[in-house]
Amino acid sequence: MCGIFGFSLRRPLNPLDVDTGLKHLNSLKHRGPDGQGYAEFTEQGVFIGHRRLAILDTSDRASQPMSRGGSTLAHNGEIYNFVEIRKTLEAGGAKFTTESDTEVLLAAWQGGGISCLGLLDGMFAFALFDGEVTNLVTDPFGEKPLYVVQNDEGVYYASEPAPLIE
């Protein structure tokens, strides 16, 4: 199932922001009992957290958030056709270190940006920070929801509404 919690603020992060992010991420433990990770980008005001339910690649190499080539991704769901997409990307020279659909999704985004979404067959929600912008994406049918709240400080998002209510 996995869980995502994060935010993109209009100011640099401070230690209290990170503590808050970790608190709310921990509230999603029931969604991802197999691990927790987060990435913070202090100057850009970005916190991306992930609770992991390990299914496809259970190794630590596939932990999230996953960073490659300047982009960081926290992903909930499954890309059903990731093996086919991976083969296409490998034919174009891409290299992979995991057997995860997350790494394939990250490589597809880096290769084609938002246009890669047309390749995806699956149920998913993800947050991808490219060093400048946090992209929030869900599958076309919203099978894996991503709740979003915007206020004067910035944008907060989570796999469930509960962490956003506070």
The CA distances from residue 166 to 29, 61, 102, 161, in Å, are 17, 33, 29, 9
Percent helix, percent strand, percent coil in the chain, to nearest 5: 30, 35, 35
Omega into 15 within 30° of 0, i.e. cis? no
Catalytic residues: 2
Q: How many helices (H) and strands (E) does the chain have?
A: 4, 9
